[in-house]
Amino acid sequence: MAQFLKGLIVKGGKEEFFNYNYFNFSGLKGQTKVSRSGLHYYSSLVTLVLSSPNEKFMDYLLEQVFETPKVELGNLILSPEYTEQEIEPALETSNKFVCISPLVLLTPAFNDESGKRFINPDTDEFSDLLYESTLTRMERSGWYTPEQMESFYKFQVVPDMNYVNKLREQQKKFARIYSVYDMDVKYEVRGYTLPFTLYAAKEVQDFVFKCGLGAFTHKGFGMLDLANHAPNQRTEPYKFKREGFVPYKSSERQKPTELEEGPDDM
């Protein structure tokens, strides 16, 4: 999916967006089941969630999507049909989030296995790595003054260890190894899928909600949604729609199940 979206961004020809990284996206959400041969989709309608604070970029990317009548991803053949915009929730200085794509804490170097290292979610290192990557991205964005950046020192990620321990008791996985491509080089990283509470300034909450949390967010990792957020009336029609298409139902950010996360490790 990351390579496909990158291809669309380049295909559109707007160089200002070729290296734009302040966006985030999910995997394809639908009725799925994992078998020995891979992930199988049993629904005719799947949802891709895109997020960015830059409406101009979003419209540019969606325009490229809808100019592609047939999309082939692996063995899937897809056709873009309809877009909806999620009504923006009110974020506080403390919010409980769920991951709708895995959190990656470490950015590996070439020929380096460190990106696969397991970090226990209830350690300070887990929160500290997310803090460092978030503040670095916020500073590089140029959207915040030095005074604002200095005020963002309060930051703590507190994973729901009851959830984690229940999965451990059931011998289910919350951390797996994923492949990611950067500059045509394949890396392997560890991703975590678990609920957590984030304590941080509202500007920080807004940034990670729209741009993702952790590393490789522009590659489809670290997408978040609010836990226990009522799905009713959360979306409204957006600009892009295939002519004559009538939506089946209102779409939403879907929480992943353990089955959706794929094979591998921990």
Joined tokens for residue 32: 């799925």
DSSP assignment, residue 253?
P
Beta bridge partners of 155: 200
E strand segments, 43-195: 50-51, 71-73, 76-78, 82-86, 94-99, 103-104, 155-159, 175-182, 185-192
In terms of phi and psi (left: phi > 0; alpha: psi -120 to 50; beta: otherwise), the region of 57 is alpha
How far, in Å, CA of 44 to CA of 30, rounded?
8
| pLDDT tens track for 12-68 | 999 999 999 999 999 888 777 777 776 777 778 888 999 999 999 999 999 999 998
Average pLDDT over residues 149-164: 97
Beta bridge partners of 77: 72
| Contact indicator for 127, 155 with CB cutoff of 8 Å | yes
Average pLDDT over residues 167-180: 94
The CA-based angle 61-67-73, given to 5 degrees, is 80
Joined tokens for residue 53: 């604070």
CA-based torsion, 182, 25, 88, 199: positive or negative: negative
Average pLDDT over residues 250-262: 46
pLDDT at 230: 62
How far, in Å, CA of 18 to CA of 144, rounded?
23
Identify the band that residue 250 occupies on the pLDDT scale cut at 50, 70 and 90.
very low
Instruction: Give the phi and the psi of residue 128 in degrees, each rounded to 5.
Output: -65, -40
| pLDDT tens track for 100-140 | 999 999 998 887 888 899 999 999 999 999 999 999 999 99
Identify the band that residue 182 occupies on the pLDDT scale cut at 50, 70 and 90.
confident
How far, in Å, CA of 109 to CA of 97, rounded?
29
| The model's pTM | 0.86
Is residue 252 scored above 50 in pLDDT? no
| pLDDT tens track for 202-241 | 999 999 999 999 999 999 999 999 998 765 557 888 888 7
Strands 94-99 and 50-51: unpaired
Q: Which listed CATH number (3.30.70.920, 2.40.30.20, 3.40.50.720, 3.30.70.1900) goes with 2-261?
A: 3.30.70.1900
Instruction: Give the phi and the psi of residue 204 in degrees, each rounded to 5.
Output: -70, -45
Long-range contacts of 75-81 (CB under 8 A, 24+ apart): 76/28, 76/41, 78/46, 79/242, 80/240, 80/242, 81/45, 81/241, 81/242, 81/245, 81/247
